[in-house]
Amino acid sequence: MDEELRSLTQRLRQEAGTMASFSYERLAATGDLDELAAVLIAPEQPLWARELAAFRLGVAGDRRAFEALVLLLNHRDPQRCASAAYAMARLGDPRTARAAAALATNELRVAYALHPVRLLVELRAPESVPALITTLARRFRPHDPYRRVALACVEGLGVLGDERARPVLNEALVHPELAGAAADALRRLPAQRVPRGRG
């Protein structure tokens, strides 16, 4: 079993508890995607059931999971965010990168931006670099508490290796907690061209 799926199933089995163990095992075992999708629109479903259904649909590439996964990607529980990001990376929905960029750059939800940032790096979508640049630039404010988000942006920009990130990475060099990662990221960018002098 995939490690991410193993972790999720263990966590959600505990959340479901013994009273809902039959319902849990049914959802975990079914191969009927319509049954999973029905959980997402049925009223009064527990969160564990919605998460399990959305995750399984997502990794199966069923786009009916998209809205539920976006909500989970922005959840206050980091484990739910991580599982949603994993499923969204495999969903294959063209809306995914745009949604992740919106979450990563939403200053009202920046406390939950870590997994959207990581998802953008994995997706390597056109939205990825601009969103990471925007999010990182906002983290240079004095006493900003979201250093993990800033570090994820720096590391992600290094992975993406886009020249557009050079100015913001140079700015990150003056922040001690980001300097090492920023230097590594800058080394991964394409070599700058030296303009030829007129002869």
d(CA 8, CA 125): 26
Q: What pTM was estimated for this model as a whole?
A: 0.90
User: What's the pLDDT at 2?
Assistant: 73
d(CA 18, CA 145): 39
User: What's the pLDDT at 24?
Assistant: 87
Asked whether 81 and 114 are in contact (CB, 8 A), the reply is yes
User: What's the pLDDT at 153?
Assistant: 98
CATH architecture of 1-93: Alpha Horseshoe (1.25)
**Which sequence spans correspond to the domains of the chain?**
1-93, 94-190
User: What's the pLDDT at 198?
Assistant: 53
pLDDT digits over 88-111, tens only?
999 999 999 999 999 999 999 999
User: What's the pLDDT at 1?
Assistant: 47
Mean pLDDT of 171-175: 96
pLDDT at 28 over 70: yes
User: What's the pLDDT at 61?
Assistant: 96
Confidence of residue 114 (pLDDT cuts 50, 70, 90): very high
User: What's the pLDDT at 199?
Assistant: 46
Output the DSSP codes for 114-135: HHHHHHHHHHT-TTHHHHHHHH
Confidence of residue 3 (pLDDT cuts 50, 70, 90): confident
Contacts 24+ apart (CB under 8 A), 20-29: 20/46, 20/48, 23/49, 24/48, 24/49, 24/52, 27/52, 27/53, 27/56, 28/52
